Amino acid sequence: QVQLVESGGGSVQVGGSLRLSCAASGVDDADIYAMAWFRQAPGKGRQFASGLRWEDNKTYYLNPLNGRFTIFRDNAKNTVYLQMNRLRPEDTATYYCALRRALGIDSMSTAAEEYDHWGQGTQVTVSS
């Protein structure tokens, strides 16, 4: 069974940095189309933050992030990271790792409903 284990959340001051990690187990490398990070602030919907297409490491970002976030993976294992720099109060949210399976998929998606597996979420709080 596929499991996603997240870590790295916490509380930081404005301008600080965090690195989130998500380790996937129970799935082969060839069966992954993409892994992604979504975030959800209190009272708001779940929003795509960043994603990585597995076959070629092509990356995708929410436009307003303007290069502050970087998604990358450890090629030796099914783990993705989200490096978050120059954090702002509006980045405060619960961040969820998600995995999209490869079977029948031929394009990237930013829609939460298109992802098949989810982590439990990790809280990021940025204080001003």
**Residue 10: beta bridge partners?**
124
Mean pLDDT, the chain cut into blocks of 10 residues (128 residues total): 96 98 94 97 94 95 87 89 96 97 92 97 96
What is the sign of the dihedral through the CA atoms of 73, 79, 84 and 90? positive
CB atoms within 10 A of CB 43: 5
**Residue 76 pLDDT:** 80
**Residue 85 pLDDT:** 97
